[in-house]
A and B are shown apart, each in its own frame.
Chain A
Amino acid sequence: MTVAGLIFSNIHDANIPEMTRRRTIASIPYGCRYRLVDFPLSNMVNSDITNVGIITHYNYQSLMDHIGNGKDWDLARRSGGIKLLPPFVAAYENAGANKLYENRLEALMGAVNFVNRCGADYIVLSDCDAIINIDLGAVVEDHVKSGAYMTIVTKKLLDESYHFSQPVAVLKIGEDNRITDLEDRCPEAGNVTVSTNIMVISRTDLQIVLQEAAARGLKSFHKDVIAKNLKKKVIRAYPFDGWYSPISSLEEYFESSMRLLDADVRRDLFGNADRQIYTKIRNSSPTKYAEGAEVKNSLLADGCVIEGTVENCILFRNVHIGKGTVVKNCILLQDTYVGSNVQLNCVITDKNVVIKDDRMLSGHQTMPFFIGKGEMV
């Protein structure tokens, strides 16, 4: 049995416009040294899914730069490995059927060659907008054993801390984990089951879906492929009970990042030696803590220089914190330079931001203050 993977890198770009202005959602930096795409990619590699296509839409230069030849995920393979699947768009007006895709089904149709030629028995589909470390091998095994048409990884949300600012697939689940209803909406917090948008389907069934979609002009994967088939075919839920953190707004990004300071969350995400999360290697030096450094309850990447106070923060690679500076509840992306005697609270800086000496900036937990890529304050 062979399994191939397909990752959607752009589906939810519009949700976090602050950070996707110049990149795909897949290449949003997360957790000191990762990018969102590292999670689905690592999940696939750790489950021996080594033939992976990444469907791109636009703004995918940063993604290409991150992925390279796939070596850092052990996916630089002669057979299989990583393939970026840019849209096939005719460069003239009236492109007709070849226009840039607008939804998941059209995106999949653009990857029809990958599906037809991958030679796999099953295909795992995954988005990039959620943090999850999952054994996909077990999902595929469950799918095969059950004989279902499709299996969707689901998460029951009991936690009050989940807020959804964007509609998601809210599911009803009946006997034997069969999905009985799908509704796209913003769920209230607590006690709902949602789709993680990680799905398994056989390659032949996916090919049929794509043929039908082309023939009948179907538009929505949720409505036309899942919801319509719920009665005719067995579409099963695979309940996931680990840590799952969807990110559909800047506030959620902030909240999700801060949850990494919780030891249990870190254990769930990074603690399994057989299911590590891989990312592009950048060869930073170790992080240096100066004589006057005071760091509390923070997660840091390598390559930082800390001369001031850092509390409850997520610091990416090569961040500099100057003397007398106090940084609290902040997420500072790669190469952020914070000068001396600065005070920051609830601030997110994108890459290469410079905060000059003596500045004072503050957001709030529910509304972090965002500073765009390369800006100088």
Chain B
Amino acid sequence: MFKKKECVAMLLAGGQGSRLYALTQKTAKPAVSFGGKYRIIDFPLSNCINSGFDTVGVLTQYQPLLLNDYIGNGLPWDLDRTFGGVKILPPYQGNTGADWYKGTANAIWQNMEFINRYDAKYVLILSGDHIYKMDYDKMLDFHKESGADCTIAVLDVPLEEASRFGIMSVNPDGSIYKFTEKPKNPDSTKASMGIYVFTKDKLQEYLAADAANPESSNDFGKNIIPNMLGAGEKMMAYPFEGYWKDVGTIQSLWEANMDLLGERPTLSMLDESWRIYSRHGAESPQFVGKDAKVINSSVTAGCEILGTVKNCVLGSGVTVEEGAVVEDSVIFENVHIGRGAKVSYAILDANVKVGANATVGESRESGKEIAVLGADVTVADGETVPAGAMISEM
């Protein structure tokens, strides 16, 4: 049942995403909602199928229930295949012991058997932390043509932000001669996007050596890439141009959602040639009431808007009652905002209930922080949640 595949994609989806605090208490970061009807993992999964990669292993570890449900058999991404398709790969008990995934490299090492079943010549390593549209097939072609052992996708970032990323120093021919994780004084602006193509045999060789080293933290960025560079393997930087955003923080997640709005959004979901697929239920159409106001916003099926919504991204099944005002906010699915309530500059996770005349957050102009309510949190009638609050239901 295992047809040979030239390249297998491995999607690292086990991360907790602890910087998203309340939003990742109950779910893994790749399953965090984005843009109203998507989740972060929809982007790498859709990129895979749009690039013609039909065999994807998803490595899960932290809070996998929702993620497992969500991916299911892979149907929404056309990845329910007899040969290949999407497979969830949780940590498991082997005959010599049982281990959690100790690091990104270790997670792949523990699943070499999955890759080898397909007799893959190349392995594409992805993470479930970023919002971007990318043709991985072009990157694979680049890898093959350059004869590299490893190709790392890089993005030009502003120099002042470079110290937040893993920075590649690159020769004129595109080969990498130095890699520094979060450098204090960056000497290049080429940031690693956390997307790697490896020639499988080389990858297996370095993962084996890494696994044998008890001192290693079993991480691609900290161990495998520096080790390969040190040994003089051919490492290439694949330049990517276009929208790419790490949504690892509350601020960046909010910003990426806002990138969908405006007349010429920096991130458009309307592009039919590179669709982002998602799993969604049988929501009825969205209704906008006779006294409602919806301005510069993105609204999804199942919403019922009777109040005012301005500069917002609304997930499916959100209700905004009469007299309620929601501004500059990202609202996840099935949130209920009561009569006369005011929600400003906030992120509300799924199933949050904001009582009548309650206040959440402060206007963006106040210069204060984003207020965040985790899944299932209830704000009582008339209650006030201050700006910058981070509340999650335990």
Whether A286 touches B295, Cβ cut-off 8 Å, given contacts A296-B290, A297-B290, A300-B288, is no
Looking at A16-24, A276-284, A341-349, the stretch in contact with chain B turns out to be: A276-284
A193 contacts B by Cβ under 8 Å: no
| CB neighbors of B among A257-307 (8 A) | 261, 266, 269-270, 276-279, 281, 283, 285-291, 293-303, 305
Whether A297 touches B288, Cβ cut-off 8 Å, given contacts A286-B36, A289-B295, A291-B263, is yes
Q: Does A299 contact B282, Cβ atoms closer than 8 Å?
A: no
A339 contacts B by Cβ under 8 Å: no
B286 contacts A by Cβ under 8 Å: yes
Contacts of A305 in B (CB 8 A): 270
Q: Does B285 contact A283, Cβ atoms closer than 8 Å?
A: no
Alpha-carbon gap, A298 to B306, bound state (A)? 11
Looking at B96-104, B115-123, B296-304, B383-391, the stretch in contact with chain A turns out to be: B296-304
Q: Does A300 contact B285, Cβ atoms closer than 8 Å?
A: yes
Interface residues on A, range: 20 to 34
Q: Does A299 contact B286, Cβ atoms closer than 8 Å?
A: yes
Alpha-carbon gap, A276 to B298, bound state (A)? 24
Instruction: Please give me the residue from chain A that is nearest to B77 by CB atom.
Output: A283
B292 contacts A by Cβ under 8 Å: yes
Alpha-carbon gap, A71 to B294, bound state (A)? 34
Q: In the complex, given contacts A286-B298, A289-B295, A297-B288, what are 10 additional A-B residue pairs having Cβ atoms less than 8 angstroms apart? A: A283-B278, A285-B269, A286-B299, A286-B300, A297-B289, A297-B290, A299-B285, A300-B286, A300-B288, A303-B270
Contacts of B313 in A (CB 8 A): 286
Contacts of B296 in A (CB 8 A): 289-291, 293
Q: Does B299 contact A277, Cβ atoms closer than 8 Å?
A: no
Contacts of A303 in B (CB 8 A): 270
Q: Does B37 contact A302, Cβ atoms closer than 8 Å?
A: yes
Contacts of B275 in A (CB 8 A): 283
Contacts of B286 in A (CB 8 A): 287, 299-302
Instruction: Please give me the residue from chain B that is nearest to A299 by CB atom.
Output: B285
Q: Does A31 contact B294, Cβ atoms closer than 8 Å?
A: no
Cross-interface CB contact of B284 among A266, A291, A296, A297, cutoff 8 Å = A266
| CB neighbors of B among A9-50 (8 A) | 31-33
Determine how close the nearest CB of chain A comes to the CB of B70; give it in whole angstroms.
15
Cross-interface CB contact of A302 among B76, B292, B293, B301, cutoff 8 Å = B301
Chain B residues within 8 Å of chain A by Cβ, number: 38
Q: Does B294 contact A293, Cβ atoms closer than 8 Å?
A: yes
Interface residues of B, dominant DSSP: loop
Alpha-carbon gap, A31 to B282, bound state (A)? 13
B287 contacts A by Cβ under 8 Å: yes
Q: Does B288 contact A296, Cβ atoms closer than 8 Å?
A: yes
Contacts of A266 in B (CB 8 A): 284, 287
5 nearest A-B residue pairs (beta carbon): A285-B269, A32-B285, A270-B284, A286-B36, A297-B290
Contacts of A293 in B (CB 8 A): 294-296
Q: Does B282 contact A295, Cβ atoms closer than 8 Å?
A: no
Contacts of B19 in A (CB 8 A): none
Instruction: Please give me the residue from chain B that is nearest to A72 by CB atom.
Output: B282
Contacts of B64 in A (CB 8 A): none
Instruction: Please give me the residue from chain A that is nearest to B37 by CB atom.
Output: A286
Contacts of A71 in B (CB 8 A): 75
A-B contact pairs, 12 of them (CB 8 A): A32-B285, A277-B282, A283-B76, A285-B37, A286-B36, A288-B298, A289-B297, A291-B296, A293-B295, A295-B288, A299-B285, A301-B301
Contacts of A277 in B (CB 8 A): 282, 284
Report which B residues bind A (CB closer than 8 A). 35-37, 75-76, 260-261, 263, 269-270, 275-278, 280-282, 284-301, 309, 313-314
Alpha-carbon gap, A15 to B301, bound state (A)? 31
Determine how close the nearest CB of chain B comes to the CB of A319; give it in whole angstroms.
12
Whether A283 touches B289, Cβ cut-off 8 Å, given contacts A289-B299, A293-B295, A302-B37, is no
Alpha-carbon gap, A287 to B280, bound state (A)? 15
Alpha-carbon gap, A303 to B263, bound state (A)? 15
Q: Does B263 contact A290, Cβ atoms closer than 8 Å?
A: yes
Contacts of B36 in A (CB 8 A): 286
Q: Does B288 contact A286, Cβ atoms closer than 8 Å?
A: no
Alpha-carbon gap, A297 to B304, bound state (A)? 11
Determine how close the nearest CB of chain A comes to the CB of B134; give it in whole angstroms.
18
Q: Does A298 contact B269, Cβ atoms closer than 8 Å?
A: no
Alpha-carbon gap, A290 to B290, bound state (A)? 18
Determine how close the nearest CB of chain A comes to the CB of B256; give it in whole angstroms.
14
Instruction: Please give me the residue from chain B that is nearest to A285 by CB atom.
Output: B269
Alpha-carbon gap, A296 to B306, bound state (A)? 9
Whether A279 touches B282, Cβ cut-off 8 Å, given contacts A266-B287, A302-B37, is yes
Instruction: Please give me the residue from chain A that is nearest to B280 by CB atom.
Output: A281
Alpha-carbon gap, A289 to B275, bound state (A)? 20
Determine how close the nearest CB of chain B comes to the CB of A300; give it in whole angstroms.
5
Determine how close the nearest CB of chain B comes to the CB of A74; give it in whole angstroms.
10
Contacts of A270 in B (CB 8 A): 284
Instruction: Please give me the residue from chain B that is nearest to A278 by CB atom.
Output: B282
Determine how close the nearest CB of chain B comes to the CB of A213; give it in whole angstroms.
38
Instruction: Please give me the residue from chain A that is nearest to B287 by CB atom.
Output: A299
Alpha-carbon gap, A58 to B80, bound state (A)? 32
